[in-house]
Amino acid sequence: MRIAVYPGSFDPITNGHLDIIERASKIFDKVVVGVLNNKNKKPKFTSEERVMLIKKVTKHLPNVETASFDGLLVDFAREHSASVIIKGLRTVNDFEYEFQMALLNKTLDNDCETMFMMTNSKYSYISSSMVNELAGYNGDLAGLVPTDIIHYIKEKYKH
Ligand code: PNS
């Protein structure tokens, strides 16, 4: 069985992330979305909220699971018997950092391969930080994040 992990902060999940998850779920037998619970970062959404939002928008994908992790990505992949790490690339700006991470992860676990998927061009400008900035100004999130979770994000920004 070919299992892949798709890691990220997902603070919150965007349409760009969901597009990668949907496409990866067609290629792999199972995709485990890994939500980084980094104690040094100050995310807008808790890891429980981020996992809940991802589960809500991936419930139509039976071979996708979501879990949080707070250690090394290669350990998370190993725990889930995944031999592939999926990363999405939007622009050339993403490349350098991702290239470095891929080489580092390969050094940490030679059996784990990083595979890059090009983002759908219609989502290439979307990032979680832009979603948060827009939500902070009560901007329209339609098209940026899955429709099902817009109300949840807006609610978060009311407080
Ligand atoms: O969505 P992001 O914030 O770009 O995702 C970054 C992520 C979660 C993929 C990356 O920070 C990560 O893999 N963190 C886990 C810790 C780790 O394994 N780091 C690499 C070796 S030091």
CATH number of the domain enclosing 95: 3.40.50.620
Residue nearest ligand 1's atom 6 by CA: 8
> Is residue 21 one of the residues assigned to a domain?
yes
Report the share of the chain in percent with pLDDT over 70.
Answer: 99
pTM value > 0.85? yes
> Is residue 16 one of the residues assigned to a domain?
yes
Total domains present in the chain: 1
Q: What is the mean pLDDT of the chain?
A: 96
> Is residue 141 one of the residues assigned to a domain?
no
Atom of ligand 1 nearest to the CA of 73: 18
User: Please, where are the H alpha helices in the chain?
Assistant: 15-27, 47-57, 73-79, 92-108, 128-136, 147-158
> Is residue 154 one of the residues assigned to a domain?
no
The pLDDT value recorded for residue 4 is 98
Q: Is the CB of 103 under 6 A from ligand 1?
A: no
In sequence order, the 6+-apart residues with CB closer than 8 A to the CB of 42 are none
Region 3-25: mean pLDDT is 98
Q: Which residue has the higher pLDDT, 40 or 11?
A: 11
